[in-house]
């Protein structure tokens, strides 16, 4: 398997951490997201959406980060991080879909305003953040309720669902995600952050110092 990715992006961090949790080894090709490598024909012939990451395994060209996690789990036969009990699989599928259809967007506005814009020498737009806040809180409340009395989302240990749902929050401090009212999310995120796969996929060492300085 060969992974095309840039370690600084949300969905690439998700896949790098997830493949490690799964125990999958792979070749890699790093692309430069801010340099626009993902928009070049060499990559868009793999992913016509011009989005990172993508995984190639023989004649399979796979995009969508959550599909990559499911594929690698099944290929490796890892039934710990992707249990084969139909109800647990359905539950994991539900959280993967929720992440990509609702949670990613809920967190992404904070990433754009508080991280990407400063990197591009622009200022966060507080009006955009204020308008978006009810959407974030609506979705965070769903996750907060799910985590009541649970250490992990779908099992008594970390699964690919935890990695997928944590990814959009991966820079939550600099993203300035408003997590004050969500003790269950904060405690769960601390557990995710203690996982070796999460620590090894930290994007910060890959961010050029001159860009990092703009976030200080």
Please report, as ranges, the residues that interact with ligand GSH according to CB under 6 A: 9-11, 38, 51-52, 63-66, 100
- Residue 10 or 107: the one with the smaller Cβ distance to ligand GSH is 10
How near is the Cβ of 210 to ligand GSH at its closest, in Å?
Answer: 20
- Concatenated DSSP letters of 106-154: HHHHHHIIIIIHHHTT----HHHHHHHHHHHHHHHHHHHHHTTT-SSSS
- Is the CB of 14 or the CB of 149 nearer to ligand GSH? 14
Short-list 169, 154, 174, 146, CA closest to 11: 169
Give least dist CB 189 to ligand GSH, A.
18
How crowded is residue 122: how many other Cβ atoms within 10 Å of its Cβ?
A: 11
Q: Which is nearer to ligand GSH, 50 or 215 (CB)?
A: 50
Q: Which is nearer to ligand GSH, 124 or 194 (CB)?
A: 124
Nearest approach, Cβ of 9 to ligand GSH (angstroms)? 4
Ramachandran sector of residue 58 (left: φ over 0; alpha: ψ -120 to 50; beta: rest)? left
What six digits make up the tokens of 71?
Answer: 């594929």
Shortest separation between residue 63's beta carbon and ligand GSH, angstroms: 6
């Amino acid at each position: 398997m060969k992974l095309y990715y840039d370690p600084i992006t949300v969905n690439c961090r998700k896949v790098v951490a997830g493949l490690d949790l799964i125990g999958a080894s792979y070749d890699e090709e790093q692309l430069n997201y801010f340099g626009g490598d993902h928009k070049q024909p060499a990559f868009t012939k793999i992913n016509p959406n011009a989005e990172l990451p993508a995984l190639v395994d023989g004649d399979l060209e796979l995009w969508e980060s959550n599909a990559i996690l499911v594929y690698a789990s099944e290929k490796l036969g890892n039934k710990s991080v992707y249990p084969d009990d139909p109800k647990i699989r359905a539950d994991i599928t539900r959280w993967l879909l929720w992440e990509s259809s609702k949670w990613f967007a809920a967190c992404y506005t904070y990433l754009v305003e508080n991280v990407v814009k400063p990197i591009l020498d622009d200022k966060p737009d507080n009006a955009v953040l204020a308008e978006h806040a009810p959407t974030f809180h609506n979705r965070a409340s769903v996750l907060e309720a799910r985590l009541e009395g649970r250490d992990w989302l779908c099992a008594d240990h970390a699964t690919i669902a935890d990695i997928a749902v944590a990814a959009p929050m991966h820079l939550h401090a600099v993203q300035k995600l408003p997590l004050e009212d969500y003790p269950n999310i904060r405690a769960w995120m601390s557990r995710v952050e203690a996982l070796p796969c999460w620590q090894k996929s930290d994007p910060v060492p890959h961010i050029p110092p001159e860009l990092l300085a703009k976030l200080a």
